[in-house]
Structure 1
Amino acid sequence: MTASLPFLSYRPAVAASGCFRCLVVLLALLLLGLEASAQTINTDAVTRYWELTDALRQNQPITDQAWDEFITMPGNTTYIRNTFLPDPKSKSSLQYYRQALEVVYMPKHDSVRRAKLQAKEQPYVLIEDYKQREADYRQYIQQTVQSPDYLPLMYRLAYEYLPAAAHTKVPDLKMYYTAIGNGATSQKEGIFFSLKVVVDDDKAKPGIIEAHEMHHQLIPIKQFGTIAAEDKGLMWALRGIRAEGIADLIDKKALYQVPGDPHRVRAQFLDPAPRAILRLDSVLQVVAGGATTGKSASFYQQILGFSGHVPGCYMARIIEAQGHRNALVAEADNPFAFVRLYQKAAKKSAARPPLFSKATMIYLATLEKRYLAQVPKAG
């Protein structure tokens, strides 16, 4: 669905002043129309999914050609790359997902389907959800996604954790929806959502997962000049912790308030965080001492996982809980400031969250100062 230019009617003006007012109104409407047309919502991959599954319900398997065409649709390509594992033998691979899709939807495989569901095996349980709740997902596409209030809502929620200068619109925004997997990702090609994640999160608070991903598009990035090769891994980690941590205040906070924590916020993002902080601190102490190993992005990813959600979500919650939300938003562009704010908040917290060591804080301050010094000052 692409927003189009508003319909404009025209009548000759009877006076020069009236004509001028008409031109002003016309110009305003044109500008609004141009802004709207730059915001594109694409649900083609969802429509194609339902076409494929309709055939599966008739025991017609998906041909290789049809599958290849489906997974290379604009709404699927980037999402798949960031959601599924490349190893075809993995149960988290796209190849395994295709097999499970046919088992769940084709009546001739019903005995296998029931056995997989009884064993609570993924992705069979996930695909069964898409099958059983198809009416809910269709309604979401028809009523929510196509609502004129949809985009303004996600912008408004994202703005709550952005400095005023970042309260802008994403130029030529493209948003894609698909009906496979259970995730969302913000990339240079656009924002990609699975229907399951948006519908489930919407029940906790409308628009939160969309706003989370929108926040990634809008958050300013502080410039530190050219990052040395040995520091790129650490900068990747710090930026990820900051970006995901702040954005998690938009959606994870609301999800965690759902009784019983069905979204497993505590298990996935909060409980593992203290250990991740201590592991990160141990690594940084070694690095501060002059070590030259273990500095790649993949190394830090093994420590953190979730591209920064752990421990970012936990750290951001501590910062906000101790009254530092305004400072967090004001310095949202600076990953070093995020760590400093956490350290300050953690010292005040009665929950006694883990602190970074003095050696780590000195090292990070030195690193920040070094890179800021090479950035030309404005004016």
Structure 2
Amino acid sequence: MAMKTSVTNINVLDIFQDKQLVKVCAPMVRYSKLQFRNLVKRYDCDLMFTPMILADSFCHSEKARQNEFTTNALDSPVIIQFAANTAHDFVGAAYLASPYCNGVDLNCGCPQSWAKEQELGCAMLKKPELIYDLVRQCRNRIPAPFSVSVKIRLLSDITETVEICRQLEKCHISFLNVHARTTNQLTGQIDKSGLKLIKDSCKIPLVANGGVTSLENCFELQDYTGCDGIMVANGILSNPTLFSGTCYTTKNCIQDWLNICYNSTLTMQSYQEELAKPKLTISEKPNNLTFQCFHHHLVFMLEKVLPKRQRHFFNSLKTFSSVLQFIEEYFGLKPMLFEPEMFVKTVSQNMDYTDRDFMYKELKPTEAEEQEYIGNSYNSDGQYFSSKISSEDCDLTEIFLENG
């Protein structure tokens, strides 16, 4: 089995011991995909999360595994976040993925209505004993240095939240991620005092999430709460260089994004052809890259860079060629080939899950039903991006509805 043995043996807890502040890229619907994880890694991001993946689909569908998670040699340390409400789904998915990532995270914070209807995400907070059982079984069956973590939101009663955190610590989770808003609070100020109380009540590393838009904000939140890490979603979408201390997306970052996306579409054979006769462009139906991923990220990155008129024109573009033409004309940038040594590291891995589903089968009750994988709904533009097209101004907090 092909494994990222040189990187997946990283102990995530070592990062918390070595770093004054662990800087984390949040799990984001549609957006924390491989190319973006590779980008933020270049700009002082210490730990990266995948988007939330449905564990049941990941367990019984090869198509789901291939569609929902890709990785390469640069993609580390990376945590796969799963939504699950049964041990066989969560532990089974974690065991399947464990050779190719550094840990798993149980999503107990997603506030989307569909997740609540399926008793996933923040609905899990109503059944804390179930959460404890899932992470305890996962921890018992997959040894360290593989990490097991949980991402939660605050309950309206902060004492109940603290008690859940204490019990999770007793389940030997590796670290805790807390979005400092309640399950019904999609926007507004975060509860810094609640974060501080959780940190004062637990010894495991705490990663705080919510309301951060700059590196300065990160340190301010750490100073107030004592948290060990800061997880950023919206801020890092708008500025992937945030953790390096810049206030907006740099020109070098735009060039890096073009390069990462362009090279990710190439196979070893097509890379050799490009070396001989470079086209330095992206076809309209490339491998391993959607237009949504490529264009949306640029829309977010250029929010504070482009004047309003150019911004709205750029946001409405519909093809790779028109986007590349705009970027070249406005910024003088075009995609560039990586050097061979770098290119090899960016090639997506062929992940072999053969015989790794025995854990899922062993834990699965005979009466449990399997749902057919029909793909996720995230190929749509989403509420946040759509607002970029339909209105002149958009409140970044709208994306919290989608990311939890």
Instruction: Please identify the structure whose Cα radius of gyration is greater.
Output: 1
TM-score, normalised by the number of residues in structure 1: 0.27
Greater strand content: 2
Greater helix content: 1
